[in-house]
Amino acid sequence: MSIVTRFAPSPTGRLHVGNIRTALHNFLFARRHGGRFLLRIDDTDAERSTVGFDQAIRDDLTWLGLGWDRLERQSARTGRYEEGFERLRAAGRVYACYETPQELDLRRKILLGRGLPPVYERPEGENAPVDGRRPHWRFRLDHQAPIGWSDLIRGEQRFDPSLLSDPVVRREDGSWLYLLPSVIDDIDMGVTHIVRGEDHVSNSAVQIQMFAALGAGVPAFAHEALLVAAEGKLSKRLGATGVDALREAGIEPMALLSLLARIGTSQPVEPIGRLETLADDFDFAHFGRAPAHFDLHEVELLNSRLLHQLDFAAVKARLPQGVAEADWALLRGNIAHLSEFADWLPVLDGEIGPPVLAAEDRAFLRDAAAAADALDWAAGPWAALTQALKASSGRKGKPLFLPLRLALTGRESGPEMAPLVERIGRERSLDRLRAASS
């Protein structure tokens, strides 16, 4: 069987980390099995859907590297939904309802007050039309057909359809709710696996009967535990953590994807530089049912670790023009975001201001300048300089190294000084030592 998965966002906002995780897992599962990954824009909500968000979703997926094999929009498929609806109506599987939201809410309260589940009480036969009121339409569940499936994450699932409300599939104004168009799309597009959050489990139960009522096979399901914040409870911040914000913060796509591919699994979370590597060992058997804890701080740590191992070729196009491969190798271990690399360029080739130092440190640097001037710079100048100053000043550890680092780089920390001093060069190093000593 050729695997086909789909990601079906609504263009009513930007993608956030929960959406990205769903898209990623659909993408990885399809790629692992040599299948196809579809992007379906669920834009039937005409009032809230916008062209701008449609474009933003595609831009975000492209930035993340999650390319799709086919693009569809529900707004272009309304004819197919009408056909499916009429087919179900002719078979008696959808029926008109005339209750108002207020009447339904009152009935739910009455049932709850009696200690009964607030399940829609199906009328006998067709609802009687109400003058001046347009109907909404419900799908008639088959109460004699138990619903069950073997979920790829949650295991065996069982639902008694008599305990479920017949779901509304079409509103009074003729617009569609999610359930039926999604089923028709999945049938037409040959979707074999539906991967989504566990909040859709009850939707899957009623959609299984919709697939059957339309004479189609039922795809496999994988319902994932939802993301929660690191502090252990559902966080509104997760909904606000969009791709645009992550890009502005300097997060590398693969740092984010490395985390989202493996949180909630038995696999180690580590920086992975290629989607193909993530796909190679992606397996729903690794997923548990416990909530998956998402922490932006962990993304930041992965971002640093990823940058520290990236080859020059992977970042060259995004570095300032003229940067050499040796400079990337020298500095990459000291940046948390790629944008920070440019901040180091004045240290290598430009001008830095002299640090503010105590009088004894300035005197120490005068001696350092004299010693550096006398060195053979072709034979490991940093080791020779520090050994000479250690012997002449009696300094060691931080009192020896920190004033030198501050004078030469303007920073308290950074790359190893030995290769850095060689890269800065003799004349620039002498100028900085002398400037810091005055």
- Give the residue ranges of the annotated binding site for ATP: 236
For 172-285, strand residue ranges (E) read 193-197, 220-224, 227-229
- What CA–CA distance (Å, rounded) separates 236 from 112? 29
Helix extents (H) in 3-77: 17-32, 51-64
- What CA–CA distance (Å, rounded) separates 434 from 428? 10
Token look-up 């680092």 returns 405
- What CA–CA distance (Å, rounded) separates 158 from 146? 7
Q: Give the DSSP H or E segment for 415.
A: none
292-294 vs 220-224, strand pairing mode: unpaired
4-7 vs 36-41, strand pairing mode: parallel
Q: By three-state DSSP, how is residue 421 classified?
A: helix
Q: By three-state DSSP, how is residue 418 classified?
A: helix
Q: Give the DSSP H or E segment for 155.
A: strand 155-159
- What CA–CA distance (Å, rounded) separates 241 from 256? 12
Sequence ranges of the binding site: 236
Q: Are 310 and 337 in contact (CB under 8 A)?
A: no
Token look-up 């040959």 returns 190
Residue 424: CB atoms within 10 Å = 20
Q: Give the DSSP H or E segment for 148.
A: strand 147-151
